[in-house]
Structure 1
Amino acid sequence: MKKIITVVVLFVALFQTSTLMAQDLLKSTDLSTLKVDYLSDSDVAKIKTQLQTNNVTIEQAEPMALAKGMPASEFAKLKERLAMPATKNEVVKKEIDKTDEVEDDVRKADAFGRKQEKIVNTKVKDSLNALVFGSELFDNPTLNFEPNLKLATPVNYVLGPGDELQISVYGVQEFNASVPVTIEGKVTIQYVGQIPVSGMTIEAATQKIRGAIARVYSTVASGQSQVGISLSRIRTIRVTIIGSKQPGNYSISSLATVYNALFLGGGPGKNGSYRNIELLRDNKVYRNIDIYHFLVNGDQSDNVGLKDNDVIRIPAYTQRVTVEGQVKRPGIFEMKKGETFTDLLSFASGFNEFAYTASVNVLQKTSKEFKVKDVNASEYNSYKPLSGDVFRVAKILNRFENRIKIEGAVFRPDTYSFYEGMRISDLIAKADGLKEDAYSNRARIIRLKSDLTTEIVNVNLTKAMEGDLEADVALKKEDVVTVYSILDFVEEYKITIDGEIKKPGIYDYHENLTLNDLLVQAGGLTGSASKRVEVARMIKAEEIDDANSSKVELFNIEITATNNEQLKNFALKPFDVVNIRKMAVYEKPEMVTIKGAVNYTGKYVLANKKERVYDIVERAGGLTSLANIEGVKIKRPIQAKQIEEVESINLNLGKKDSIQNKLKKKLKEDLKFATIPVDWKSIVKNPNSNTNVILFPGDEIEVAAFNEGVKVTGNVLLTSEIPYEKGKGFGYYIGSVGGVDNKGWRKKAYIIYPNGKAAVAHTYFFIKSYPKVKPGSQIIVPEKPEVKKMSTGEWVSIGSVITSIALLIVTAFK
C-alpha cells in the first residue's frame, strides 16, 4: 500500500511541476485528449529525469495514467519516446556535432536569444531536370531559405502549442521565467495564473500578458517595473508537399516560408511546374507562387510564411520550351499563357556576344510531324512560343563587312575600316604615311574576286601619292595592300671570324668594315694569339676559269697581337672568313698529384713534356720508411675521347646484347680512373725501365703504406683480413676465412697486388697454379655464373640422338 501511495505522489509531483509543459497536461483529471506527439523533446527529457531521480519506472506510473483516461496507445508512445535516446532529427544532429547538447542549447540561447529544433535534409542531385531552368535552386545544399533566428520576432507571428515565451519583469520588482505554450494554448505564469494565447499574434499576446501581470505586480501598473516578453523557442509545424521530388509531410519551423519548404522537398518533380505552385490553406488556394519572379528578378513577394497543416501543391507544367545556342543561359524554360519570345529571352539572360540576333530558328512540333520556322527580330515582341518549341540561336559569321588591311613599309600597318570610295592614298594616310625605306615604284593589292579567287593589282605609289587618279586605285573591302621596303631587296651580308679571338662567330658586314673593327667587335685577341692572320675571300667571276682551280683568295696578314692593331688597316669584304692563328709555343702549366707514403704530398707541375714517375717521387722527397715499394701505382682519369671511341666501335653482338652498353656505363659512371701498376724496384735499379711511365696532366700517384695483412673478400664465408705469413699460398688464406660459400667460384679466384696489378690462377698439364701472395694484397673469389639445367625432355632428346648414332655405326660394320 505504501508503495502505491509513493508512486501516486511521485506521479502527481512529476506531472504537476510548474516548470514542465507535461505537468499542465497531466495534472488535469481528464487525460483522454493527450497527444504525446505534441510533447517536445525537452518535455520528454524532463519527465525521464524526474522518474530516474525518484527511482520510479514508467511501468509503475502506467496504472495512474490509464486511470485518468490516458489512452493506452498514447501511453505506449510516451513509453517509446522515453526509451528512445533522441528523436531522429536529434540523432542526425549528434552525428553532425558531437558536442554536449545542453551546452549547445545554452550557447545558442545566449547568442541568438531563441532556440529551434535542428532540421536536417539530405539533398539529392537532380540529373533528370538538370537543364530545366530553376532546378539548380533546389540542388545547392548551401541555399536552403532557412529562417534567421537572429531576426526580431515578426509582430504578426501567431502563437501556438510548442512555442515558448521568455517573460521578464524588471525594475522595483523582478521576475524571470521561460513559459511554454501548452497544447491547450495557454501559458502559466507563477502567481498570475493561466493566460490563453494560442491563435494570437505575438503583439496581441504581449499586451494581454502585460495586463495580467499588472494585476498581480503593483509596480508594473504604476510604471515602476517593466515587462519584457520575447519568443525564446520556435514551435515546429507540419506541412504537406505534393508533386515535389521528395513529396511528403515535413516538420519545419513556424517561421519557415514556402521556398524553405520547397527546398526541403527537393523542388518540383520531373514534370512539376515552377510557375504555378499552389499554397493551400484551409482547403482553399491561398496563393499562386511563380519561382521565376525570384530567379529572374530576385523578387521574394511569393515567399510567404507557412502555417500548420498548409499544403503546397506542385501541378504538372503546361508549357515548356528549349533554348539552345548563343544565349547566356541555355536550357529548358516554362512559359505562361501570353508570354512572348522577348520574355523567354529575358529568362535566358539575353543573347551572348557571338549571337546572330537578326532572326532565330524554331523547331516546332505539329500533331503529325516537325516543322521549322524563322522568327525575325521584328517579331520577338509578338511571337508566342508553343509547347515543345526548340529555339536555336546561331552564331555570327566569321567574316567582316568593312575590313581592309595594309602591311609593309608604312608607319602603322594594321586592319582598318573600309568605306565606299576609299583609295590607296586614303588608306596610306590612315596608316600615317610611307616610311623612309618604302619602295614607291610598286605596291601590291591582293583582291578577292566575286568567284572567291584572288588576283593581284599593282600600284605605282609615286604617281598615286602625287594625285594621279588612274594610279590612285579605288579599294574594295577585304583588300590586302602590301608596301614593299627597299631593304627587302638588299642581301644580308655576313662575315666570319674564328681562332684565337674571345668571341668567335658570325657578324653582320657593314660597308668600310676593316680587320681592326672586326677584332674589336669580337672582343679582342686571346693571350695565345700569334701575329699571323689568314683572311679567305670568295672569288666572283662571270665566267669559269678552268686554268684557276682556286676556290678562294687567301691573304696572310701580320698584326701586333698586344694591341689588336696592324700597321695597315685591311679592308674586309662580304663573306670573308678571318682566322687568327695560335702561337707555336703556348702551353699553360699542367699538374699531377702524389699522395701516400712520400715526404711531401700534393700537386706538382709537369716541368717537361717527358716527366716520369721517378722524377715526381724524387721531387716529393722520395718514399718514407713506411712506404710499401710493392704498392706504387698511377690513377689516370678516363678521358671523354676514350668513351667516344668505345661508343663508336660496333661489336656486332646483336641488338639485345648488353655487353657494349654495360661497358659504356661502366666507363661513364663506375670507373673514373684507369690504374697503371708501377714496379718501383725495377725503376730504382734502372730509371729507363718501361715501368717508369711518362705522366699526363691529371695523373695521381699513390704510394701505399706497408700493410702485413691480406684481405679476402667476395663469395667467402667471412670477409676478413688475415695477417701475412711468408710462404703461405692461396689455399691458406681462403681456408682462414672458412672457405668459399655455395656460390663461390674458387678456380676463378684472383689477387690484386698493392700496386694495382692483378693475377689469376692458371693450369699447366692439369696442375693448377695460384699466384704468389704478397703483403697488402687482396684475394677476391667471384660468383659462379648461373647455368641453366637441362630438362628431362632435353636429356631424352640427347639420348635419342646417341642411340641413333650407335645404330648407324652397328649397321655400318655388319
Structure 2
Amino acid sequence: TVLTALYAAGGVTERANLRRVEVRRFGKVIATLDLYDYLLRGDTKSDIRLETGDVVFVAVHGTRVDLTGAVRRPATYELKARETLADLIGAAGGFRPEAARERIKVVRVVPPAQRGTQATARVAIDVPLAAGLPPGFRLEDGDVVQVDALADATDEYVVAVTGMVQQAGRYPWRPGMTVRDLMLLARGPRIGADLREVEIARLPADRSRGQLATTVRFPLDSSYLIDRDSAGRFVGPPGLAFPASGTAPEVALEPYDNVLILKQPEFELQRSVTITGEVQYPGTYALKTKGDRLAELVRRAGGLTSRAYADGIRFYRQVNGAGRINIDLPKALRDTTTRDNVILQPGDSVFIPEYIPSVKVAGAVNAPGSVLYKKGAGLGYYIDAAGGFAYTADKGRTSVRNAAGEVETRHKFLFFRSDPTPGPGSEVTVPLRDTSNPMNYAALLGAIAQILASTVAIIVVATKL
C-alpha cells in the first residue's frame, strides 16, 4: 500500500505535503492520500494497494499555519485550499477547558506589495468567536494562530480570604458573590474564629492621597458555622457567643476584596508540658493559665517521690530552641517567688531523676568513667580516681557540669587557682590540649628578660634623679 511504501522509503521529509500524496499509474493520478486522515483519526480507507510500475509522489507542502496556546494539540498544521480557522481548531483536537473562547489572535505576514518597511511586515488580527465557536476565517500561509488561556487572556477578577478559615487563599470572583459564598469555598471558619464581624479591605475610589485600600466591617452571625450535625447543630469547642442565625445581612463582594476572618481575643488551644521521672503522677499536663510555674506543675504531679534527686532536674525548653536550662528545683519549691520557679512554656519537658551517687569523669584522663561520690571531696579527688590527667590534657579548661545542667570551669589567677566542686550526678570534662600551636618557650623567656631589663633600667634612672 501507499503507507507501506512510505515506510520503506524512510518516511516523508519536513518539506513534504501531508495533505495530498498522489499515486500515479501509467502517467495518470489514480488516487490521493491525505495523511492527516491516518495521523489524526487512524483512517486508512484511502490507502490503496499498489501495483508494479506505480509511482507514489509526495510534493512540497502547501499552506502551513502555526497553532499555539490552549488547544489539545498545538503544532504546525498544513491546510487544504478551502480549509478555515474552524478546520484548524478541529484538526488540533479542539479547545482545552481553560481556553479563553471570546476571541483568537492571528499574526499574519503582510504581502510584499503592502509591507512598506520590515518594521510593519506583520499585523495582528483579532478574530471574535461566536458563542465560543471558531468562525470560518480564511487563513494564509505563515499565519500564527494564538489561543489564549484564561489566565493569559486578561486580569482575572479574584477575591481573597485570610485569617481563621480552613483554606485561606484567592478565589475567582463572580457577580453577586457574597461573603457566605466565599466562606463555603474556603470550607468554613477554623476553631477560634470570631464570627461577630468581618473586615473587608477594598480598593479605594480615590488614590490621590496615596491610599491603598479602604477597610469596612460587617456583622456576621452563627449561620457561618458550616460544620453541623444531622440535626443542624454546631459541634465544636466552646467560645464566644455569636449573634443568632439570620440576624446578619448578606454582604456582596467586589473584585479584589480581601476578607479577613478575625480570631477570638485570647483564644488558644491548650498548652501542654511533660513531667516524668520521680514524681507521683508523671505525664503530660495542660497548663491552666499562661502564668503557670514549675512549682505548680510539680504539685499537680503529686510532688516528688522519696527517691527523687531534685538537684538533678533536667529542664528542656523547645520554644526558640532554648534547649536545657539550669534550674535549682529545691530553691524553686522552697520559695515560689524565686527566678528558678520559671513560667512554663508549651513543649517544656521536666525530668526528675533518682539520686545518682556517682560523678562521671570524661575526656583527657587516663581512665575515663564514673567515680563514686564522696562528700566534701574536691575536683582533684575525682581526677585522680580516673587515673589522673593524660599528657594531652588541657588542665586549665577542666569543667564540671552539675546534675542541674549548670557548668563551672576551673579558674586561675597568677598563683591562685579555684576549682569547681562536683556533686552527685555531676560530669567532669577534661578537654584536649591544642597541639597545633605549641608554646615557644625560648621566645617567651626572651620577652620576659627584656621586660625585666627595661624595668631595672627605669628603677636605676629613677634613683639617680
What interval of TM-score do these two structures reach, taking the shorter chain for normalisation? 0.5 to 0.7
* Residue 536 (str. 1) matches residue 193 (str. 2): no
- The correspondence for 1:692, drawn from 316, 336, 341, is 341
Any conservation in 2 of the 1:351–1:357 contact (CA below 8 Å)?
A: no
Q: Partner of 1:146 in structure 2?
A: none
Q: Partner of 1:552 in structure 2?
A: 213
**Structure 1 residues 432 and 674: CA distance shift in structure 2, 3 A:** closer
Q: 1:582 offset after TM fit, Å? A: 0.1
Q: Partner of 2:64 in structure 1?
A: 403
Q: Partner of 2:291 in structure 1?
A: 610
* Residue 735 (str. 1) matches residue 392 (str. 2): no
Q: 1:716 offset after TM fit, Å? A: 0.8
* Residue 511 (str. 1) matches residue 160 (str. 2): no
CA distance in 1, matches of 2:400, 2:72: 84
Is the partner of 2:295 in helix, strand or coil? helix
Q: 1:571 offset after TM fit, Å? A: 0.5
**Structure 1 residues 679 and 448: CA distance shift in structure 2, 3 A:** same
**What is the TM-score normalised by the length of structure 1?**
0.39
- The correspondence for 1:584, drawn from 228, 242, 265, is 265
Structure 1 or 2, whichever has the larger Rg, is 1
Q: Deviations over 1:631-660 (max 9, x none)?
A: 2241212536x7xxxxxxxxxxxxxxxxxx
**Structure 1 residues 562 and 582: CA distance shift in structure 2, 3 A:** farther
* Partner amino acid, structure 2, of 1:555: V
* Partner amino acid, structure 2, of 1:629: A
Q: 1:455 offset after TM fit, Å? A: 3.2
Counterparts of residues 57-96 of structure 1 (less than 5 Å): none
Q: 1:772 offset after TM fit, Å? A: 2.2
Q: Partner of 1:212 in structure 2?
A: none
Q: Partner of 2:324 in structure 1?
A: 674
**Structure 1 residues 707 and 590: CA distance shift in structure 2, 3 A:** same
Q: Deviations over 1:526-567 (max 9, x none)?
A: 1210022100110135xx645xx6432211112124634762
Q: 1:603 offset after TM fit, Å? A: 1.5
Any conservation in 2 of the 1:722–1:736 contact (CA below 8 Å)?
A: yes
* Residue 526 (str. 1) matches residue 190 (str. 2): yes
Counterparts of residues 707-718 of structure 1 (less than 5 Å): 707-718=356-367
**Structure 1 residues 614 and 353: CA distance shift in structure 2, 3 A:** same
Q: 1:406 offset after TM fit, Å? A: 6.5
Root-mean-square deviation (CA), in Å?
A: 4.5
Q: Deviations over 1:209-256 (max 9, x none)?
A: xxxxxxxxxxxxxxxxxxxxxxxxxxxxxxxxxxxxxxxxxxxxxxxx
**Structure 1 residues 744 and 638: CA distance shift in structure 2, 3 A:** farther
CA distance in 2, matches of 1:719, 1:619: 40
**Structure 1 residues 438 and 693: CA distance shift in structure 2, 3 A:** closer
* Residue 352 (str. 1) matches residue 41 (str. 2): no
Q: 1:788 offset after TM fit, Å? A: 2.1
- The correspondence for 1:447, drawn from 100, 103, 109, is 109
**Structure 1 residues 418 and 713: CA distance shift in structure 2, 3 A:** closer
CA distance in 2, matches of 1:736, 1:409: 82
Counterparts of residues 112-151 of structure 1 (less than 5 Å): none
Aligned sequence identity (%): 26
Any conservation in 1 of the 2:84–2:137 contact (CA below 8 Å)?
A: no
CA distance in 2, matches of 1:410, 1:754: 72
Q: Partner of 2:241 in structure 1?
A: none
Q: 1:518 offset after TM fit, Å? A: 0.6
**Structure 1 residues 484 and 577: CA distance shift in structure 2, 3 A:** closer
CA distance in 1, matches of 2:189, 2:292: 32
Structure with the higher helix share, 1 or 2: 1
Counterparts of residues 105-184 of structure 1 (less than 5 Å): none
**Structure 1 residues 405 and 770: CA distance shift in structure 2, 3 A:** closer
* Partner amino acid, structure 2, of 1:748: R
Q: 1:457 offset after TM fit, Å? A: 7.5
* Partner amino acid, structure 1, of 2:158: K
* Partner amino acid, structure 1, of 2:277: G
Q: Partner of 1:337 in structure 2?
A: none
* Partner amino acid, structure 2, of 1:553: T
Q: Partner of 1:346 in structure 2?
A: none
Q: Partner of 1:600 in structure 2?
A: 281
Q: 1:771 offset after TM fit, Å? A: 1.8
Q: 1:745 offset after TM fit, Å? A: 1.7
* Gap runs ≥5 in structure 1: 1-348, 359-396, 463-471, 643-672
Q: Partner of 2:409 in structure 1?
A: 760
Counterparts of residues 367-386 of structure 1 (less than 5 Å): none
CA distance in 1, matches of 2:272, 2:71: 64
Q: 1:444 offset after TM fit, Å? A: 4.3
CA distance in 2, matches of 1:724, 1:485: 79
**Structure 1 residues 576 and 399: CA distance shift in structure 2, 3 A:** farther
Q: Deviations over 1:346-381 (max 9, x none)?
A: xxx9853357999xxxxxxxxxxxxxxxxxxxxxxx
Q: Deviations over 1:635-687 (max 9, x none)?
A: 212536x7xxxxxxxxxxxxxxxxxxxxxxxxxxxxxx32322241x234322
CA distance in 1, matches of 2:423, 2:148: 88
CA distance in 1, matches of 2:126, 2:414: 102
CA distance in 2, matches of 1:413, 1:572: 38
* Partner amino acid, structure 1, of 2:218: I
Q: 1:491 offset after TM fit, Å? A: 3.8
* Gap runs ≥5 in structure 2: 1-6, 17-57, 130-135, 226-244
Any conservation in 2 of the 1:610–1:695 contact (CA below 8 Å)?
A: yes
Q: 1:580 offset after TM fit, Å? A: 0.4
Any conservation in 1 of the 2:85–2:139 contact (CA below 8 Å)?
A: no
Any conservation in 2 of the 1:591–1:604 contact (CA below 8 Å)?
A: yes
Is the partner of 1:721 in helix, strand or coil? strand
Q: 1:415 offset after TM fit, Å? A: 5.7
Give the length in aligned residue pairs: 367
Q: Partner of 2:164 in structure 1?
A: 500
Q: 1:755 offset after TM fit, Å? A: 1.5
Q: Deviations over 1:253-288 (max 9, x none)?
A: xxxxxxxxxxxxxxxxxxxxxxxxxxxxxxxxxxxx
Q: Partner of 2:309 in structure 1?
A: 628
Q: Deviations over 1:595-616 (max 9, x none)?
A: 2222221222212211111111
CA distance in 2, matches of 1:523, 1:594: 38
**Structure 1 residues 399 and 612: CA distance shift in structure 2, 3 A:** farther
Greater shift in the superposed pair: 489-498 or 448-457: 448-457
CA distance in 1, matches of 2:275, 2:15: 89
Q: 1:399 offset after TM fit, Å? A: 7.7
Q: 1:456 offset after TM fit, Å? A: 2.7
Q: 1:588 offset after TM fit, Å? A: 1.2
Any conservation in 1 of the 2:194–2:264 contact (CA below 8 Å)?
A: yes
**Structure 1 residues 450 and 679: CA distance shift in structure 2, 3 A:** same
* Residue 430 (str. 1) matches residue 87 (str. 2): yes
Q: Deviations over 1:447-489 (max 9, x none)?
A: 3645996433858889xxxxxxxxx997643344668999987
Q: 1:414 offset after TM fit, Å? A: 7.3
CA distance in 1, matches of 2:419, 2:254: 75
* Residue 784 (str. 1) matches residue 445 (str. 2): no
Is the partner of 1:630 in helix, strand or coil? helix
Q: 1:437 offset after TM fit, Å? A: 8.0
* Partner amino acid, structure 2, of 1:533: V
**Structure 1 residues 764 and 520: CA distance shift in structure 2, 3 A:** same
* Partner amino acid, structure 2, of 1:353: G
**Structure 1 residues 449 and 707: CA distance shift in structure 2, 3 A:** same
Q: 1:495 offset after TM fit, Å? A: 0.7
